[in-house]
Amino acid sequence: MNSKSLPLFSISFIAFCFTVASATNFDIRNNCSHTIWAAAFPGGGRELSKGGVWNLKVSPGTTGARIWGRTNCTFDRVGRGRCQTGDCGGLLQCRAYGAAPNTLAEFALNQLNNLDFMDISLIEGFNVPMEFSPTSGGCSRGIRCTTDIIGQCPKELNAPGGCNNPCTVYKTDQYCCNSGNCGPTDLSRFFKARCPDAYSYPKDNQIRTLICPSGTNYRVVFCP
């Protein structure tokens, strides 16, 4: 090998190692009694039987990201099919967000002041109980949504395998906050009373946003 190429090779190798080391790890676990088809954007998807784990690495600086569970899915050998809830264009390996209703773990990594920001959102409804918590970095508090919302879902929000958010059903400013400020409604209060940690409508400011130092690793558990 030409010795003049070594410095460039070394720099590239060091940069590669730094990128890998800087990736945030998400430990995604299925504690449900049934199979969950975990999904992430960015990240793809994975079938998780009871007790299954998916170790997902996400690059620093990622924003607008989410993890969710899909239920009652069927896929062929090339990863095409459909899910009753959380379907992402009929693909096992998601390339876009999933369809409502789906419980969402949302996050943005390495943002303002080198912090990560996480939340659980029911703005697209509920399909699977969820816990979102840090596993490192001296950040210990987690957030949860574990109530049986499907079993208590108001009739007008019922969906096969889940419970819709009223914005999905009615698509009005009152529920979707499309123009300016809006406040809680009786239907958003249904979600808030059962999952106080989670977003229940778009302008909900009574939530527990998880804020941790960048470099922290995380765990998402279905049916904690």
- Compute the 3-state secondary structure of the chain and give helix, strand, coil in percent, each to the nearest 5: 20, 35, 45
pLDDT one-digit tens code per residue, 192-204 = 999 999 999 999 9
Which element (helix H / strand E) includes 167?
helix 166-170
Q: According to the model, what pLDDT value does residue 222 have? A: 99
Q: According to the model, what pLDDT value does residue 140 have? A: 83
Angle formed at CA 40 by CA 34 and CA 46, multiple of 5 degrees: 45
Contact in structure between 48 and 30 (CB atoms under 8 Å)? yes
Q: Is the pLDDT of residue 23 over 90?
A: yes
What rounded mean pLDDT belongs to the chain?
Answer: 91
Cα distance between residue 175 and residue 188, in whole Å: 8
Percent of the chain with pLDDT over 90: 83
Note the pTM of the prediction, 2 decimals: 0.89
Q: Which residue has the tokens 């009929």?
A: 90
Percent of the chain with pLDDT over 70: 91
Q: Which domains occur in the chain, in start order? A: 24-222 (2.60.110.10)
Cα distance between residue 57 and residue 68, in whole Å: 15
Neighbours of 22 (CB within 10 A): 15
Q: Is the pLDDT of residue 113 over 60?
A: yes
